[in-house]
Structure 1
């Protein structure tokens, strides 16, 4: 066989293998990864991973764990730097509702800060690793101004509005003192909501939480000393604790929520939505968040 024929054959085989791998990935996206579950008694397991931008799927999973009679307690694994305030508050409310009927044990991974910490606080027990980054109790708003850039390229912007504050935060005009006071008032109110939620859930004096809630992060060890978490330990420790609280003898079975099945239409809509959201941010749209600051590898509340 000629060398060129061998090369062509290798390319064809490699292409077929690549197409097969791509088809498997597409099938997983469209059909979901299946349901890992158990008909016997066990411990429910729910994850909060990545920036908190939407609450729908997590709230649904927590509701399912609340309704399942064979779920005797729930482990909530958090690996999140925080995110948007509204979805964080919705997940917090869902965890709080679940905790009224079943024991919830939180396991913090490498980071559970800001909104990631907010969703953890209704739990009966919060585990963190000694090196977990947590805390960051605060609210962040980022704004940009592109007037200088527009002047350089000879662009002008015009805004028609129904009230003087309607374009507050616009990237094409400077913030006035009134704008700043208005936005600072919004941030202050949202921050106070966060502080009160922590004080209530962790049974700490509000003034003590205010002192801790200046946006700084804490390690798991520091958070334990400040009573922001309950124990140091791994995910395995959290699962064992949930089993003990539920009265399950031996190693508890993990009951996973069914994963959302995504159809091609949904995937396309998500992609388009992501493109428009990115464009809106570039064009000066702003949001108030709970993430860690991006300069620390994290986002706002």
Structure 2
């Protein structure tokens, strides 16, 4: 009886300790989880992460006569800016927001865009191109510094710049449009998979991967590619002050080294990023300008992890451009 009484008396104390532990530990745990989610995503539900003036300025060089903003466009260009939970880097919307901040900041007198991209989505490339034009319309010089690769859509977003510089061995060019339509019909037949399509119009299931394309479907897709290609040619002709015929001769999809691009008038010369920044200062307000880069106020956990392995900041990767994906999409991309 004595042992049973002691056991019964211990229960209220255990319950009190358990309750006290919950009261003490739950608030820090909730705060920790919320902070973790905020750091990983770089935002919470009440924030507008892509609003203008949300970027922190990291001063690379001190000055007193205004600023040159250096913006990095690296990786595959995709209109989907929402990266994975741990995905490092910036999305296209983020990049557009940085360009907006540079455009609207009166103390920014020139912009340098560092391009290291094989291209990507036609739509996203055009949106970046239009945003760079807006900066120029504000009277601010835009210079492009090409990295290892600035091909296809990477060149598309470079074309409107006042100056384009590269390394002699930069890979550029690949001027054109591509659309891939998968055909899994033989595989489906081997595994016995069949699909019944009920449609409202003859072309409603255009691009169905379980059958061959019809001649009419090929014609529809080719028209889309041609329209996008014509737009690319126009962008280059206007940006480089070239005749359309000259551009079409160069824009057959081949790649060029920096040396070949210079010979064909696609770039202005050879300069490093630092040399391009120095020229941007001169085109702005002078050599005493500060040099700034834009960074998120709170980095994603993916960015922090990426710093341990790679310094690159990426434009949002468009999953529809990954090999094996069944989606059909126009792309300015180096294949």
Measured against the shorter chain, the TM-score band is 0.7 to 0.9
Q: In the alignment, is residue 73 of structure 1 matched against residue 95 of structure 2?
A: no
Alignment-derived partner of residue 150 in structure 1 = 188
Task: Give the Å deviation of 1:248.
Answer: 1.6
Q: Please list the CA deviations of residues 115-161 of structure 1 after superposition, one character each: whole Å capped at 9, or x if unmatched.
A: 00000111111001000011111000111111111111111111122
Are residues 279 and 57 of structure 1, via their aligned partners in 2, closer, same or farther at CA, if it must alter by over 3 Å? closer
> How many residues are matched?
260
Alignment-derived partner of residue 43 in structure 1 = 68
Matching residue within 69, 93, 98 for 2:135: 98
Counterpart contact for 2:167–2:271, Cα < 8 Å: yes
Alignment-derived partner of residue 96 in structure 2 = 59
RMSD over equivalenced CA pairs, Å = 2.8
CA distance in 2, matches of 1:245, 1:36: 21
Q: In the alignment, is residue 290 of structure 1 matched against residue 318 of structure 2?
A: no
Task: Give the Å deviation of 1:230.
Answer: 0.6
Q: Structure 1 length normalisation: TM-score?
A: 0.79
Are residues 68 and 286 of structure 1, via their aligned partners in 2, closer, same or farther at CA, if it must alter by over 3 Å? same
Alignment-derived partner of residue 8 in structure 2 = none
Q: Please list the CA deviations of residues 175-233 of structure 1 after superposition, one character each: whole Å capped at 9, or x if unmatched.
A: 11111111111111110010011101110000100111111111111111111111111
Q: In the alignment, is residue 197 of structure 1 matched against residue 238 of structure 2?
A: no
Task: Give the Å deviation of 1:29.
Answer: 3.5
Task: Give the Å deviation of 1:278.
Answer: 6.2
Where does the alignment leave 5 or more consecutive residues of structure 2 unmatched? 1-34, 44-54, 80-91, 302-315
Moved over 6 A (4+): 24-27, 278-281
Q: Structure 2 length normalisation: TM-score?
A: 0.71
CA distance in 2, matches of 1:240, 1:173: 56
Counterpart contact for 2:175–2:253, Cα < 8 Å: yes
CA distance in 2, matches of 1:221, 1:160: 54
The structure with the greater share of residues assigned to helix is 1
Matching residue within 291, 294, 317 for 1:254: 291
Q: In the alignment, is residue 136 of structure 1 matched against residue 174 of structure 2?
A: yes
CA distance in 1, matches of 2:249, 2:142: 27
Alignment-derived partner of residue 267 in structure 1 = none
Are residues 60 and 260 of structure 1, via their aligned partners in 2, closer, same or farther at CA, if it must alter by over 3 Å? farther
Task: Give the Å deviation of 1:27.
Answer: 7.3
CA distance in 1, matches of 2:67, 2:330: 38
Where does the alignment leave 5 or more consecutive residues of structure 1 unmatched? 1-23, 265-272, 294-301
Matching residue within 222, 245, 248 for 1:184: 222
